[in-house]
């Protein structure tokens, strides 16, 4: 078990570095986590400079209780958001959160990101959704937990699941993405930011014609459908 945990910590540590390398976050912003098993995940410590710690310093959290396991460091302030997503969706193995420029700009408008082309459709079948506003009492108490609950409500309301929606905007905040590992979660966040940038410029230039439903479905299902043929 110790070797398994050490391996997951190394993977997660690399993923946290990757969001900086890929310019998805600045300074100590952003956090990535990795599921270890059905009741444990590892996450970046809060507000930490990654150059000053080792992978062993990442914090382990119990999914069911939210308790910290044997660590002197505080976990990311967004830990509760990660935890509630892991608890609800056993298939999620990694989660990445950051405030990249284009995704955060969309989040600050309160708008979802419309599906305007095939690049978007390669990852998201529909618009990239955005959560509703939190109520004052949800902000004052258990803010991060309620942020996770808002994500769950949005997915349920729009009848989406993590398989056909690998990320979401958190209103006025930033973005959360997930995948089958911490590495895939970061890659989905990276793709999400690229799509957000494309949508920004497309709306500025002006799109007189809309992408057809058939073209959206062709690109999404050739990569994610039962008869998918994209990739090796």
Catalytic residues: 122, 230
Q: Cβ of 208: how many Cβ atoms within 10 Å? A: 5
Look at the chain and count its residues: 232
Measured CA to CA, the distance from residue 43 to residue 34 in angstroms comes to 7
- Pairwise CA distance, residues 144 & 3, whole Å: 31
Contacts for 203-212 with beta carbons within 8 Å, 24 or more apart?
203/116, 207/116, 210/116, 211/115, 211/116, 211/117, 211/118, 211/121
**141 SS3 class:** coil
Task: Please tell me the distance from the alpha carbon of residue 212 to that of residue 223, in angstroms, as a whole number.
Answer: 18
Residue 117 and residue 219: Cα distance in Å, rounded?
Answer: 9
Half-sphere exposure of 100 (CA within 13 A, CB side): 26
Cα–Cα distance between 30 and 4 in angstroms, integer? 24
Partners of 62 in beta bridges: 40
- Helix, strand or coil for residue 145? helix
């Amino acid at each position: 078990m110790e070797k398994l945990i050490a391996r997951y910590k190394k993977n997660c540590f690399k993923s946290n570095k990757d969001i900086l390398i890929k310019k998805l976050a600045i300074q100590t912003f952003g956090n990535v986590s990795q599921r270890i098993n059905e009741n444990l995940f590892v996450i970046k410590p809060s507000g930490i400079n990654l150059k000053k710690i080792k992978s062993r310093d990442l914090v382990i959290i119990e999914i069911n209780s939210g308790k910290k396991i044997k660590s002197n460091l505080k976990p990311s302030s967004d830990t509760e958001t990660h935890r509630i997503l892991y608890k609800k969706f056993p298939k999620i193995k990694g989660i990445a959160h950051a405030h990249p420029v284009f995704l955060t700009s969309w989040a600050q408008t309160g708008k979802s990101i419309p599906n305007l082309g095939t690049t978007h459709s390669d990852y998201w079948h529909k618009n990239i959704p955005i959560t509703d506003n939190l109520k004052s009492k949800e902000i004052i108490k258990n803010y991060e937990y309620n942020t996770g609950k808002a994500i769950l409500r949005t997915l349920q309301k729009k009848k989406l699941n993590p398989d056909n929606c690998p990320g979401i905007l958190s209103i006025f905040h930033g973005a959360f993405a997930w995948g089958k590992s911490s590495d895939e979660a970061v890659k989905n966040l990276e793709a999400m930011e690229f799509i957000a940038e494309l949508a920004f410029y497309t709306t500025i230039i002006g799109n007189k014609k809309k992408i057809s439903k058939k073209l959206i479905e062709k690109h999404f299902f050739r990569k994610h459908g039962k008869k998918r043929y994209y990739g090796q």
